[in-house]
Structure 1
Amino acid sequence: MKSRIMYILLVFLLSTSITACSSSKINHSSSASNSKITDTSLSSDSKSDNIKTAMPSNNNTVLEAYKAVLLNDAEFFSIDNKKKLSLDDFLTNKEIYGADFKVTHFTVLDMDGDEVPEVVLELAVDDNPSFYEVLHYMDDTVYGYNIVYRGLEGLKTDGTFQYSNGAADNGYGKLKFQLNAYETDILGYMKSSQNNDNIIISYFINNKSVTEESYNYFIKEQDEKKDVVWYEFSQKNVETELTVHPQ
């Protein structure tokens, strides 16, 4: 019984606190998911499937900026470290959660619908996927935003994703970027509450209460969206996916 109580307390302490509102900030947490990205990370000879749709020509500058950061030829501004640093320094300085990070996979897509791509890095701690670092280009600078693994699961090519605080407390959203923070525009969510000895689960879409049936249909539509393509993090794949190709 004592070990069961300790386990429940540990799970509670590691949960990410996510405010359920139509546009709310996700609080950073060291919570991690045991799920792993399906290895669709084979090197490609063409630009990432995530950004094959027409993009403005000025994105050539953006892609080159990301490539320079990923190859340690340029620094980026880490929102969490509150300073500029190289990718190698970011991965090894242990200033976030006291841990060394290792980049295992990356993907390229437009997350916030502004026709400018972002790069998402999967970060492992002790070979366990634990965080994401989202790179966003703004005002001629690459910014990095650290997100707990359970806060950005099931990423789709339209930038939507699932976040989770538990089996009955989760939802779907899309990121919005600011200079010193990111916010999650919550599209739909479910949350649990306790009434005496009963657990009540409520469902919301666009911050309006809906039936379980409507929410399940919302989930079905989300699940049917195209998943992003994740690539193994290597110099070859970075150069392939982020090199500007003639139009």
Structure 2
Amino acid sequence: MKKILAFTLCFLMCLSLFSCEKGTDKMNEKTTDETTYASDKASTSKNNGVNKAPSTQTKPTLSKKELAMKAYIAVLNNERTLKYPLHNSKEFDEIYIKKIYNFGQYNNATQAIIDMDKDGIDEMIVVNNGKKVILHYENDLVYGFDFLYDAMQTLYADGSFSWRHYENNINEYGVSRISFVNGRLKFQELYRNENYHKFYVDGVEVTEEKYYEYIGQNQKTAIEFTPIDMSALNEGKAIELASKHWNIENGSFDEETGYRYRFDAYRDGEKYHVCLYWFVDNTYYENLKCVMVDITTGEISQSNTIHAKG
């Protein structure tokens, strides 16, 4: 009896081992098949362009500070209008900067760039023909504020400025700073005096001693204005306007001669001479015609200038 039981147990154990081994083989077979299928599928998808990773490249975005400078240059070049506050009104006029300067030319114009209201975005102060214009960038708009002569005398590195005012035999001198609220100027007076007899600090009358003590404790550094290089702003624009005027693209070929067109420009005062040439064997061959382009208004007039090059 014991021999029969032992034999039966051995038989069952062998059967169990055989069954497990077979199941493992099936699992391995299945896993191998699935792996091969997945690999083939991935390879096919890649070849068909389906499984390509999406591009992570993005266009570089300009900061608000960079956008402001780009906008100011466009305003100076009369390519963009600015918001100009109307006197004693909440309304704005939308004009080109040339209107503020009575359509005058840029005569030795200078500029200073400084963050006057400490919002992280620079203002540009342009001086031309004795008039200062503050360009302020806000919500993708450019606002312009003009100051005549003594209304803004010296601009300081902290954004404040000195001013002088004469009225009814009262000679006022002071220093203020400004902020911008919804395109409007807001003034904060730091200190001033009237005929050097009355003295004020933060709008409160003080003694002469306290007045000069405050100034001594708050020394300021003047900002230097630098010339505006209008040629750098306008040479390309002048060529572009002449190209549109002639309906000829710079570098295009003349169908009859097979010669390539070339433009040449040089500044003459407040205008550009823009001339059209045929370009042959890497040299200017013949001057065809020239125009004068006003760098402020963009107006085009004919020119009899001939500049033969060869």
1:157 and 1:57 map into 2 onto residues whose CA distance is 23
**Match for residue 97 of structure 2 among 70, 73, 87:** 87
Deviation of 1:165 (Å): 1.4
Structure 1 residue aligned with 2:145: 145
- Report the TM-score, using the length of structure 1 for normalisation: 0.58
Identify unmatched segments of 5+ residues in structure 1. Answer: 1-55, 94-99, 193-199, 240-247
Q: Which residue of 2 aligns with 1:73?
A: 79
Relative distance call for 1:154 and 1:168 in structure 2 (3 A) is same
The answer for the alignment partner of 1:215 in structure 2 is 211
Cα displacement (A) at 1:169: 1.5
Question: Against the structure 1 CA distance between its residues 188 and 233, is the aligned structure 2 distance closer, same or farther, given a 3 Å change threshold?
Answer: same
Match of 1:161 in 2: 161
**Are 2:110 and 1:110 aligned?**
no
Give the superposed CA RMSD.
2.7
Q: What amino acid is the match of 1:185?
A: Q
Letter of the 1:232 counterpart: P
**Counterpart in 2 of 1:186?**
189
Query: Partner of 1:92: helix, strand, or coil?
Result: coil
Q: How far apart, CA to CA, are the structure 1 residues paired with 2:99 and 2:165?
A: 30
For residues 144-164 of structure 1, the C-alpha deviation after alignment (integer angstroms, 9 at most, x for no partner) is 011122111111111111111
Displacement of 1:219 in angstroms is 3.0
State the alpha-carbon separation in 1 of the partners of residues 116 and 122 from structure 2: 7
One-letter amino acid of the structure 2 residue matched with residue 181 of structure 1: R
Q: CA deviation at 1:139?
A: 1.4
Flag the 1:237–1:140 CA change in 2: closer, same or farther, 3 A: same
Match of 1:176 among 176, 179, 190: 179
How far residue 221 of structure 1 moved from its aligned partner, in angstroms, is 4.6
Does the Cα contact within 8 Å between 1:168 and 1:201 map onto a contact in 2?
Answer: no
The aligned counterpart of 1:39 is none
**Corresponding residue SS for 1:60:** helix
SS at match of 1:67: helix
Secondary structure of 2:127's partner? strand
When residues 234 and 111 of structure 1 are mapped into structure 2, their CA distance, relative to the original with a 3 A threshold, is same
- The one-letter amino acid paired with 1:207 is G
Higher relative CO (Cα under 8 Å, sequence separation at least 6) belongs to 1
Cα 1:205/1:237, change in 2 over 3 Å: farther
Distance 1:180 1:107 in 2: 20
Structure 1 range deviating more: 61-70 or 227-236 = 227-236
Matched residues in 2 for 1:73 and 1:213: separation? Answer: 51
Cα offsets for 1:111-135 (capped at 9, x unmatched): 11111110111131xxxx2x21111
User: 8 Å contact 2:111–2:227 — kept in the other structure?
Assistant: yes
Contact 1:176–1:183 (CA<8 Å) still a contact in 2? yes
Task: Select the structure of larger CA radius of gyration.
Answer: 2
Indicate which of 192, 203, 206 corresponds to 2:202. 206
Q: Deviations over 1:17-55 (max 9, x none)?
A: xxxxxxxxxxxxxxxxxxxxxxxxxxxxxxxxxxxxxxx
Contact (CA 8 Å) 1:133, 1:147: kept in 2 or not? yes
**Aligned-pair CA distance for 1:88:** 2.9
State the secondary structure of the residue aligned to 2:221. coil
Q: Which runs of 5+ in 2 are unaligned?
A: 1-61, 235-310
Instruction: Note the C-alpha offset of 1:85.
Output: 2.4
Figure out how many residues of one structure are paired with residues of the other and give that number.
165
Match of 1:120 in 2: 125
Q: Please identify, of 207-216 and 77-86, the stretch whose mean Cα deviation from structure 2 is larger.
A: 77-86
Q: Contact 1:80–1:146 at 8 Å: present in 2 too?
A: no
Counterpart position of 2:132: 132
- Seen in structure 2, the aligned counterparts of structure 1 residues 113 and 78 have a Cα distance that, compared at 3 Å, is same
